[in-house]
Amino acid sequence: LMRSYMARKCDIHFPLERKLSRFLTAAMRVYRIPEAEQENVLAFIQSLDIKAIATEVMYKLFAMLEMKYDFKLSSGSETEETK
């Protein structure tokens, strides 16, 4: 189930918010989560700023990688050298 959603890129016809909502609905139906609970979960997820959360996670990931490998994330040319 997840692979099919991950394989298709988001676009103007299938934006991230719709993709996430449809995936979560399908996954919760597989586990027979009651409809009322599904609505609560989807409302909570829609209240989050998913793009901001994802951006923050990626910056933290790159910061951890900078500690392990000798590179800096920059807007210009990037080089990577392993220790």
CA–CA dist 14, 8 (Å, integer): 9
Give CA 55 to chain center in angstroms. 9
Can you give the pTM of this predicted structure? Answer: 0.69
Q: pLDDT of the chain along its 83 residues, tens only?
A: 888 888 989 999 999 999 999 999 999 999 999 999 999 999 999 999 999 999 999 999 988 888 888 777 765 544 444 44
The ranges assigned to domains in the chain are: 2-48, 50-83
